[in-house]
Chain A
């Protein structure tokens, strides 16, 4: 069975770069960017987009709720 395919969109303006999502991600998709956002924080981004399974763990632990999680329906990826 193919793995579920997911993706995240980070609100980079709201992200404070705390890194809690980086440790919560089971497939090591997220890293903190080398660049900074308008507030000077190294925002989170999808460094390994192919590994994302859309489990939503990152969105659930994000204290600033700046991650939206998407997961393709099973029949769409089959």
Chain B
């Protein structure tokens, strides 16, 4: 035990909470992917020295209180309108680094028009898109990204594609637009995937600083409360069911 006490000293720290994350306890359910992505975002902003220049646009959804957790400037947007608000901020303050953080109900349902048009105009912003295939905040209703056959509060028998259509692969769609410079799909359920997502986030912010256009980072995430599974089970379920529909990797990198 004394050996362990000798290891636990400040000069031996290899990983600790970044100072950009506030001391507020996140309100997310245990194991929620949002917490991991928030942490990565804070780490990337700190690494790039953007604490004073970054402005985030928070969405409506579970991550609506994001402004409580990362110590930078924030603006709250109406549901789905984050890319439009980010467009305004970036055009007025071109020296600032602007990003939006949105879930699938926010970006792929209510805000589809804003998202597509912001990407089509090639607005110089970063869009972070958390895709867990469900409306988490309001109680697990079906989202446009819900998988065929997947059960949700508004489709208790599973999504019926003859009635509700197929899930929308919004990142594939946005990768077709000339305005986007970087579209990638990542996950945060294993250490290796977390490291890849961090690299992708860093690249997206570097693209913005180089004025390259819109960067979109989709993170395939879990909603263990909405899916009614334990955090570890839902990570496994995501690998088996979400990844075939939403394969990981870069969709566009220019």
> Which residues of A approach B to under 8 Å, CB–CB?
5-7, 9, 14, 16-20, 22-24, 41, 46, 49, 54, 56-57, 59-73
Contacts and interface: CB of A to CB of B under 8 A. Distances in A.
B21 A54 contact: no
A5 B30 contact: no
Contacts of B4: 7, 46, 49
Interface of B: 1, 3-4, 6-9, 11-18, 21, 25-26, 28-36, 39, 188-191, 194-195, 230-232, 235
* Most chain B Cβ neighbours within 10 Å, of A54, A64, A67, A71: A64
A73 B1 CA distance: 18
B17 A63 contact: no
Contacts of A46: 4
A67 B17 CA distance: 8
Which 6 pairs of residues, A with B, have the shortest CB-CB distance? Answer: A63-B35, A18-B31, A16-B30, A18-B30, A56-B15, A59-B15
Contacts of B7: 5-7, 54, 70-72
Given A14-B25, A24-B191, A49-B4, A68 B31 contact: no
A73 B6 CA distance: 11
Contact of B8 (A7, A24, A56): A7
B35 A65 contact: yes
Given A56-B14, A61-B188, A63-B39, 13 more contacts: A5-B7, A7-B8, A18-B30, A24-B190, A60-B191, A63-B30, A63-B32, A64-B25, A64-B26, A68-B15, A69-B15, A70-B12, A73-B12
Contacts of B30: 16-18, 41, 63
A69 B231 contact: no
Contacts of B230: 19
Contact of A63 (B1, B13, B28): B28
Given A60-B191, A65-B35, A68-B15, A20 B8 contact: no
B175 to A, nearest CB: 28
B96 to A, nearest CB: 26
B31 A5 contact: no
Contacts of B36: 61-63
Contacts of A19: 31, 230-232
Contacts of A49: 1, 4
* Most chain A Cβ neighbours within 10 Å, of B3, B7, B8, B30: B7
Contacts of B8: 7, 9, 70
B34 A63 contact: yes
Nearest to A73: B12
A68 B194 contact: no
A47 to B, nearest CB: 13
B13 A69 contact: yes
A20 B13 contact: no
A68 B16 CA distance: 5
A67 B189 CA distance: 16
A5 B5 CA distance: 12
13 contacts: A6-B7, A14-B25, A19-B230, A19-B231, A19-B232, A20-B189, A61-B190, A62-B35, A65-B18, A68-B16, A69-B15, A69-B16, A72-B12
